[in-house]
Amino acid sequence: MKSDIISRRSFFKQALAFSAVSAIPSFWIPKANAASVASRMSANDKVRVAFIGIGNRGADISQRMFKTGLCEVVALCDVDMGAPHTQKIISMFPDVPRFQDFRQMFDKMADKIDAVTVCTPDHSHFPITIEAMAHGKHVYVEKPMARTFQEVELMMRAEKKFGVVTQMGNQGHSEANYFQFKAWKEAGLIKDVTAITAHMNNPRRWHGWNPNIKHLPMGEPVSESLDWDTWLGVRPYHEYNHDYHLGQWRCWYDFGMGTLGDWGAHLLDTAHEFLDLGLPNEINPLYLKDHNPFFYPMSSTILFKFPERNNMPAVDVTWYDGLDNIPAVPENYGTSEVDPNIPAVNGGKLQLVNLNPGKEIYTKTLTFKGGSHGSTLSVIPDKIAKEMNPVLPEYGKSPSDHYANFLLACQGKEKTRSPFSVAGPLSQVFCLGVLAQRLNRKLVFDRESKQISNDPIANQMLIGEQPRKGWEQYYKI
């Protein structure tokens, strides 16, 4: 075991055990407390940011954060500093200190960092974010917040305890769709929603693996530049295989959250927040193509049932993914073209296959058609839309994009639009959906106790497996 991992145990020696979903973390903070440490920044100071995960998507976010002009880059961290995909950010900041292990970075530079970005695989969001918050650092973390229901729960509680600024990276929450949905809901145009259909049926970040596999991939040699042990983090040990690395980790239950975790926050975030959906009381996998114990189905249809709340009717949200799993759309739906609001991945383009990623929102009187990310809603059919155009509620332009919003919030000038208190329950919806996918059975969920009432095995999986030896401190002592 690495000596630096051993030395880190003292950092967490006053933590409470993380043995249940209801556990509340309590960390020892080296200097004063997190809330006071986090509040010392001047409103005019540039935010000193450490980028954690600087390849692929992490490279894009690092550049966008830096281009705001609101931050100073003080550290770079990635488990593979020798990989081709990390070189662009390294070349942009050649004199900035580099680390392969985020724990070593905090050991050496905690007093020089105000905030971090976490752009790593889903399974590593939790330990990095907890470590940063325990040091009083503001956190921008990619979606979904974490891999398990319990990890998200603890991150929300840590946000409150440490008083830091948080932002989940669903960029549409700072674009036109956010402000339009909010204005239309407040004006009473969007009301009495009874059903939502959300769909992602494009061949993006997906594989052609055999669903009849009987075991996980065999081990392969690890690149000398890759710190595989730190990449694994809290997860049980797996021998390295190239099909775990880069974007492929998303497809495995052991590391990622599948298409639902990848796209759900871009399609359902505004409806979830402004309709006050909270957590579902039933999650039912209606269709799972090529279900197996190792990786996500090639196609999925999942029904989430949300109860009546705050004088609003119950809502059925049906999720569709997979190339051959195209949902029916309303009559007079119109055309479906490639959505310009969806960012390219690694220089590639989103391919349109039958139906654009998006959503349909059904109310008792109107039907709305929407896209992904920042795409705005429209009323369908066009005839009704044209009649309503003169009376549609107006909405303002975003004062800041998602990255500037985070940095301005660190300076005390704005509040983040997707803090953990908002993004956490949304991420937990996806965690419940993933459990239903993995187990291939209906789950009944108690929203008050946050427990699965009809399936003891699924209920235990809200917490997940024991963390790997050397990483227990993030959950318990």
- For the chain, what are the domain ranges? 173-207+254-397
What is the C-alpha to C-alpha distance for residues 230 and 100, in angstroms, rounded to an integer?
8
pTM for this prediction: 0.90
Given a contact cutoff of 8 angstroms between Cβ atoms, the answer to whether 367 and 330 are in contact is yes
**47-106: per-residue pLDDT in tens?**
999 999 999 999 999 999 999 999 999 999 999 999 999 999 999 999 999 999 999 999
- 356 pLDDT band, cuts 50/70/90, is confident
CATH classification code of 173-207+254-397: 3.30.360
Share above pLDDT 70 across residues of the chain, in percent, rounded to a whole number: 86
pLDDT at 391: 86
* Statement: residue 18 has pLDDT above 80: no
- 28 pLDDT band, cuts 50/70/90, is very low
* Statement: residue 36 has pLDDT above 60: no
- 411 pLDDT band, cuts 50/70/90, is very high
pLDDT at 434: 97
Q: Which of 174, 185, 180, 168 is nearest to 422 (CA)?
A: 168
* pLDDT: which is higher, 318 or 355: 318
* pLDDT: which is higher, 227 or 15: 227
pLDDT at 385: 85
Share above pLDDT 90 across residues of the chain, in percent, rounded to a whole number: 77
Exposed e or buried b per residue across 97-114, where buried means at least 16 C-beta atoms within 10 angstroms of its C-beta: ebbbbbbbbbeebbeebb
**135-171: per-residue pLDDT in tens?**
999 999 999 999 999 999 999 999 999 999 999 999 9
* Statement: residue 193 has pLDDT above 70: yes
* Statement: residue 260 has pLDDT above 70: yes
* Statement: residue 271 has pLDDT above 90: yes
Hey, what's the torsion of the CAs at 379, 384, 388, 390, to 10 degrees? 110
What is the C-alpha to C-alpha distance for residues 51 and 60, in angstroms, rounded to an integer?
11
* pLDDT: which is higher, 107 or 1: 107
Given a contact cutoff of 8 angstroms between Cβ atoms, the answer to whether 450 and 23 are in contact is no
**274-319: per-residue pLDDT in tens?**
999 999 999 999 999 999 999 999 999 999 999 999 999 999 999 9
* Statement: residue 13 has pLDDT above 70: no
pLDDT at 6: 34
**446-460: per-residue pLDDT in tens?**
999 999 999 999 999
Q: State the residue for tokens 């459990």.
A: 435
Q: Which of 79, 68, 152 is nearest to 115 (CA)?
A: 68
Give the contacts of 328 (CB within 8 A, at least 6 positions apart): none
Please give the mean pLDDT across all residues of the chain.
Answer: 89
